[in-house]
Structure 1
Amino acid sequence: MEESTSQPLRKRAVRTFLATVLPLVALATTAAQAQTPADSEPVRFTGPLVSSSPPLGKGELNIEPYLINTQTVGYYDSEGHRRDVDGSADDWQLSVPIQYGATDRLSLGITLNAAYARGVNSQRHLTAGDTRLSASWLLAQGSGKHRSKLTISARQNVTTGQHDRLELRRVPGTTGSGTDSTTLALDGQAYFLPRSNLRGRAGIAWRLPGADAGLHGQSGYSTRAGFEGNAELGDGVAANVGVEYSINRHWALASDLVYEYEDTTRVRGHDGLGAVDLTLPSSWRVSIAPAAEYHWSDNAGVILGALVSLDGRNSAAIVSPQVAVNLVF
């Protein structure tokens, strides 16, 4: 029988979501009523919170730092039932994607990550996260009114965050996976409506199986102090559909629907009690990420919204308000 969710946690999650998104929707709607878009106005988009963008033009540079606050308000068990967590914590993350147009078809990128999390002494500390390198190639581009684009990308995770020896860390949580994994992605983009003021994006990414993480002591893979061994990851899939609607030259509304799947992980080694051989179960989660955008020029804008989990299995239930500034040079 499914346990009922805790009212305080549920109310806090709802309040956080509403306080983040609804004021922006109201502000954007007010701006739209005050300024009716004209056909000659430029259509500006910052991009949904999650969906990937196609390659930049040659010589263009895009920097889009994100400030993310992730609140774990529960978890989805092996039956898919939502359970509560007591004393749920919130973590801050800074993510800085940087992308450069090497040619009109090829963009190269790097994403730097850091966490500002609470340590064992109850004080917050800044800790490095994993780094991601990427290369995106424009496969095809349509010349019609939809201006469709199809992009293929390769992304390489570089282990710069912490994933093991957590009993010795100032911040006991994980900030990285411990694996130098490779992900392949296919993304599409197109414009719709007479003014092209509706933009849609869709993408799917596949993390190749077999990525291996060496483990020492307590880790994010359910090992404890004294453990020595490794974790072999299965594959992972992430899919998303995103839309943006331009209200006028300054305001736009956006939303993503996101699906994440992680296959089973095999953990093998030994600790002080003997050999360890366990399989961590597969997991999935579906989330939505509504947001509002404000653009003060053709090359600069801000997006503010929240990623909120809707359903899942063997995964955390989260509410994650976030803001990003998009700058193109």
Structure 2
Amino acid sequence: MTGVRRYWPMLLSLLGWLVRSVPALAQSAPALPPAVSTEQSMSDAWWTGPMLANSAETLPPGHFLFEPYLYDIRSPHTDSFGSRTYMLYGLMNRLSIGIIPVFGYNRLGNGPNSSGIGAGDLTVQAQYRLTEFQQGSWLPTTAIQWQETLPTGRYDELGNHPANGLGAGTYTTTLALNTQTYLWLPTGRILRVRFNVSEAFSQPARVKDVSVYGTSQGFRGTVQPGKGLFADLAIEYSLTERWVLALDATYSHNGNTRVAGENILDPASLSFPQQVRLDSGPSEAFGIAPAIEYNWSPTLGVLLGTRVIFGGHNSTGSVTPAIAINYVY
């Protein structure tokens, strides 16, 4: 927790900026036309969604959502440029399905960069909506989500280019409960709130030679990633019909990842098997992701934000600026 405490002044400063900015920006926003009610109507609020928290809504049957993200994960000595694209389809009432392809390129400060842009692991998902928010009711929109991540990205046999590793090599199942509700503030403006929690379970995988798990040339063995827990509380403040301020606050916990096997090469590259066992140990991290949204219409918007991960127990901090386009048709 020592690493986390070092970042509390930055976190408090960012939260303070958000608190100060909302009233100031609201005062400078165009005045709403006179209406019988002082409360903002839901049709007067357009959204793209916050940077991280998935929606608990599902698409109407026959409709598509297309949302590509471009980002740069900046951590010590590394820039990981990537794209992550949500392509979802409303299959039937209450049920949406989709795929999430990922592409990336790693630039290292202490080694060779990726050979080129490569594909990461592909995720397929399905989401079923259980309840839907109705104005005047306390019941939020809720949904259960299933994701299966397929090991399509390179993760081992990386040779002299470990930066080419863009995948995990394992089949990972993620189960999530997503929720969403709307609150009307004293100003009459809408605050949309999401709270999501998920847990990921990975299958073991074989690992050979240089890999993303820190193994070297000549290694033969397996990896068993630990379970992963992720929680996200997100708020969005409808500043005007088109402009929205958003903030995610996240917590993650990952169990121990164990790599076990043997290295068939000694330092002189002679056959001399040596037992190898690597344990990452459990880790946890906290993060925030402030963002601003602009919507051209109820079905088309853009998001610009930055995710900040504070290095917690056995984890490394990072800063990830990102931009996304959200289009529904």
User: Following TM superposition, by how much is the alpha carbon of 1:168 offset from its aligned partner in structure 2, in angstroms?
Assistant: 4.6
Residue 44 (structure 1) aligned with residue 37 (structure 2):
no
Matches within 5 A, 1:138-217: 138-145=129-136, 148-169=140-161, 172-193=163-184, 197-208=190-201, 211-217=203-209
SS at match of 1:125: coil
Write the deviation string for residues 94-119 of structure 1: whole angstroms up to 9, x where unpaired.
11111111112000011010002237
Write the deviation string for residues 16-54 of structure 1: whole angstroms up to 9, x where unpaired.
x99xxx8xx979965861412454661011101000112
Instruction: State the alpha-carbon separation in 1 of the partners of residues 239 and 133 from structure 2.
Output: 25
Please tell me whether the aligned partners of residues 28 and 292 of structure 1 are also in contact (alpha carbons under 8 angstroms). no
Instruction: State the alpha-carbon separation in 1 of the partners of residues 307 and 96 from structure 2.
Output: 27
Partner of 1:312: 312
SS at match of 1:313: coil
Write the deviation string for residues 224-277 of structure 1: whole angstroms up to 9, x where unpaired.
111011101221111100000001011000000011111011211110241223
User: Following TM superposition, by how much is the alpha carbon of 1:173 offset from its aligned partner in structure 2, in angstroms?
Assistant: 4.7
The alpha-carbon distance between structure 1 residues 299 and 231, as it changes in their structure 2 partners (threshold 3 A), is: same
Partner of 1:79: none
Please tell me whether the aligned partners of residues 32 and 247 of structure 1 are also in contact (alpha carbons under 8 angstroms). no
Partner of 1:110: 99
Question: What root-mean-square deviation, in Å, do the aligned CA atoms of Structure 1 and Structure 2 show?
Answer: 2.9
The alpha-carbon distance between structure 1 residues 190 and 34, as it changes in their structure 2 partners (threshold 3 A), is: closer
The alpha-carbon distance between structure 1 residues 32 and 228, as it changes in their structure 2 partners (threshold 3 A), is: farther
Partner of 2:292: 292
The alpha-carbon distance between structure 1 residues 149 and 280, as it changes in their structure 2 partners (threshold 3 A), is: same
SS at match of 1:172: helix
Instruction: Specify the code of the residue in structure 2 equivalent to 1:217.
Output: D
Identity of aligned residues (%): 31
Higher deviation after alignment, 295-304 or 30-39 = 30-39
Which of 224, 229, 234 aligns to 2:226? It is: 234
Higher deviation after alignment, 197-206 or 306-315 = 306-315
Based on CA coordinates, which of the two structures has the bigger radius of gyration? 2
Matches within 5 A, 1:265-280: 265-271=257-263, 272=265, 273-280=273-280
SS at match of 1:165: coil
TM-score, normalised via structure 1 length: 0.82
Instruction: Specify the code of the residue in structure 1 equivalent to 2:200.
Output: R
Higher relative CO (Cα under 8 Å, sequence separation at least 6) belongs to 1
Please tell me whether the aligned partners of residues 90 and 97 of structure 2 are also in contact (alpha carbons under 8 angstroms). yes
Partner of 2:249: 257
Instruction: State the alpha-carbon separation in 2 of the partners of residues 28 and 111 from structure 1.
Output: 37
Partner of 2:67: 64
User: Following TM superposition, by how much is the alpha carbon of 1:62 offset from its aligned partner in structure 2, in angstroms?
Assistant: 0.6
SS at match of 1:219: coil
Consecutive unaligned residues in structure 2, runs of 5 or more:
34-39, 266-272
Instruction: State the alpha-carbon separation in 1 of the partners of residues 55 and 168 from structure 2.
Output: 24
Matches within 5 A, 1:26-105: 33-38=28-33, 39=40, 42-54=44-56, 55-73=58-76, 88-105=77-94
Please tell me whether the aligned partners of residues 29 and 239 of structure 2 are also in contact (alpha carbons under 8 angstroms). no
Instruction: Specify the code of the residue in structure 1 equivalent to 2:88.
Output: Q
Instruction: Specify the code of the residue in structure 2 equivalent to 1:204.
Output: V
Please tell me whether the aligned partners of residues 37 and 249 of structure 1 are also in contact (alpha carbons under 8 angstroms). no
SS at match of 2:159: helix
Partner of 1:76: none
Instruction: State the alpha-carbon separation in 2 of the partners of residues 193 and 172 from structure 1.
Output: 48
Instruction: State the alpha-carbon separation in 2 of the partners of residues 310 and 63 from structure 1.
Output: 30
Instruction: State the alpha-carbon separation in 2 of the partners of residues 186 and 153 from structure 1.
Output: 6
Write the deviation string for residues 121-156 of structure 1: whole angstroms up to 9, x where unpaired.
557721111110000001122434357211001100
TM-score, normalised via structure 2 length: 0.82
Instruction: State the alpha-carbon separation in 1 of the partners of residues 53 and 28 from structure 2.
Output: 28
Residue 131 (structure 1) aligned with residue 122 (structure 2):
yes
SS at match of 1:65: strand
Instruction: State the alpha-carbon separation in 1 of the partners of residues 225 and 113 from structure 2.
Output: 32
Instruction: State the alpha-carbon separation in 1 of the partners of residues 284 and 50 from structure 2.
Output: 21
Instruction: State the alpha-carbon separation in 2 of the partners of residues 220 and 117 from structure 1.
Output: 12
